[in-house]
Amino acid sequence: MTNHEANSLVIEGVSTAYDQANVLENVSLTAASGKITCLLGSNGSGKTTLIRSILGLTPPNRGSIRFGGVDLAGLPTHRVIAAGIACIPEGRRVFAKFTVEENLRIGAYQETSDAAVAQRLAHVYATFPRLSERRDQLAGTMSGGEQAMVSIGRGLMRAPKLLLIDEPSLGLAPILVRENFNIIRRINQQGITVFLVEQNVHQTLAISDYGYVLSKGRVVAAGEPSELGQTRQVHEAYFG
């Protein structure tokens, strides 16, 4: 297996149901190694269900989800994460009563080497100098933008090969959204594959290499950002 395949997420023919009702129907897409791939769609399109299916929280009834040559479909969540996948959940979800550093260390709970944890902490603090200054501050007392940094930093503490990012713009002021997306681009430039699930079309397409549009549980469009933004499917998915 090439390194390119090792860090690519390949989803083929995935269908996922809640209470016998299909939420995802025959979804196929690829998040290519070393790239930023986005999945656009309005609320209720099935985006979060797809993330849950990848993570093993809501296993698909049909189809395969491959990463590093391993089919993740049906694996428990801790095995999916151990394969080199980290998820930044929507809404940030920091541990409010823990300090910044305690929050970050939770991200490395599967790592047994103290030296590796220290190295990852140093890397996160270099990426987010503001967190370094506030490492002893309770995460719950920080601004929304700072909590977003804590959440992304916690994901980086896993030293992931693939980062799943769910709605990073949710609830943030426009200036913080721009800052967040710049951070995502910088993380990708460090060699981490990014699968970005978002509603914010313009900011997302501006940093993505390739994108898909999900509507009512189906992929209705795919392509380069420049062409995807012009498609009828994008306008219908959001405004129709």
Q: What is the pLDDT of residue 237?
A: 64
Which pTM value belongs to this model?
0.89
All structural domains of the chain: 3-84+160-239 (3.40.50.300), 91-159 (no CATH)
Least confident of 5-14, 84-93, 108-117, 140-149: 84-93
Is residue 181 a contact partner of residue 203, using CB atoms and an 8 Å limit?
yes
Which residue has tokens 């913080």?
Answer: 176
DSSP 138: B
pLDDT tier, 239 (very low <50, low <70, confident <90, very high otherwise): low
SS3 42: coil
pLDDT tops 60 at residue 137: yes
Name the residue type at position 190.
Q
60-80 pLDDT tens trace:
999 999 998 889 988 999 999
158-210 pLDDT tens trace:
899 999 999 888 888 888 888 889 989 999 999 999 999 998 888 899 999 99
Distance, in Å, from the CA atom of 30 to the CA atom of 211, rounded to the nearest integer, reads 9
Distance, in Å, from the CA atom of 120 to the CA atom of 89, rounded to the nearest integer, reads 20
